[in-house]
Amino acid sequence: MVEKKLICVICPVGCEIRASIEGGEVKEIRDFRCAQGEEYAREEFTSPSRILTATVQVKNSSIAQLPVRSDKPLPREKLEKAMFQLAGIIMAPPIKEGQLIIKDILGTGANMVASRDLEK
């Protein structure tokens, strides 16, 4: 059994939530002040994940970088690896917000998609 703690980021209060963890499961969780906080902390303790936002190169355009995002969160430890995949991509306009850039990045089930329209 390991004791872990984190600062809740759901609201400005910033509760310091503690939990006892065993075998990747939360056995006991305490010091939260709301249900959302508890839910956030449970996930954060066991399988933290994040939306990845970055850019990819874009050619023949008014801008040099196209913003992209993952359409769902990636496991936190895969964020930096995912960046290496994005580094080799070159896009060209026109591009629509939501357009697929990389499908199922690193086998996470999350797709990288464009996060803006780009006409030229």
Partner 1 sequence: MRTSDVDVLVIGAGPAGLGAAIKAKENGAREVLVIERDFEPGGILNQCIHNGFGLQYFSQELTGPEYAGRFIRKASRSDVEIQTDTMVLAVNPSREVITSSRHFGLQLFRAKSVVLAMGCRERTRDAIQIYGTRPAGILTAGTAQRFTNIEGFLPGKKVVVLGSGDIGLIMARRMKLEGCEVRGVFELLPYTNGLSRNVVQCLNDFSIPLYLQETVTEVLGKDRLEGVKTIKVDKKQSPLPGTERFVPCDTLLLSVGLIPENELSRKAGIKIDPLTGGPVVNQDRMTNIPGIFACGNVTQVHDLADDVTVESEIAGTAAARFRKGNLQGKELSVEAGRGIRYVVPQRIDVSEIKKENPLIFFMRAEVPTRQVKIIFTQEGEEKFGETLPFIKPGEIIKITISPEMLKKFKPDKNILVEVGKGNNNG
Partner 2 sequence: MQKFDVVIIGGGVVGCAIARELSRYKIKVAVLEKETELGTGTTKANTGLIHSGFNVDKNTIKGRLNLEANPLFDRLVSQLNIPFQRNGSLVVAHNREDYQALLHSIEEAKANGVKGIKWLNKDELKEKEPAINKDSFGAVFAPSGGIICPFEFTLALGQNAHSNGVVFFLGTEVKKIITKEGWVEGLETSRGFIRVSFVVNAAGLLADTFGEEIKNEGITLKARRGQYLVYDREYPVKVKHTLFPRPTEVSKGIIVTPTIHGNLMVGPNAEQVEGRDALETTETGIKEVLEGARKLVPNIDTSAVIRMFSGLRAVANNDFIIAPAKKTRGLVLAVGIQSPGLTAAPRIGELVAEILKDIGLGLKGKPDFQEERTPLKSPGKMNWGERAALVEKDLDYGQVICRCEGITRGEIRDAILSPLGAVTIDGIKRRTRAASGRCQSGFCGPRLIELLKEFAGISPFEASLRGGETQILKYRSKELLLKGGENIADQ
User: What is the binding site for partner 1 (CB under 8 A)?
Assistant: 6-9, 12-14, 33, 48, 50-51, 53-55, 57, 62-65, 67-69, 76, 79-80, 83, 97, 115-117
Q: How many CA atoms lie within 13 A of 109 on its CB side?
A: 5
Given partner 1, partner 2, none, residue 112, with its beta carbon under 5 to 8 Å by kind, binds none
Question: Which residues, at least 6 apart from 91, have a Cβ–Cβ distance to it below 8 Å?
Answer: 56, 57, 58, 59, 66, 101, 114
Please, what is the minimum distance in Å from the beta carbon of residue 37 to partner 2? 34
SS3 of residue 102 by DSSP? strand
Site residues for partner 2 per CB under 8 A: 55-57, 64-65, 80, 83-84, 86-88
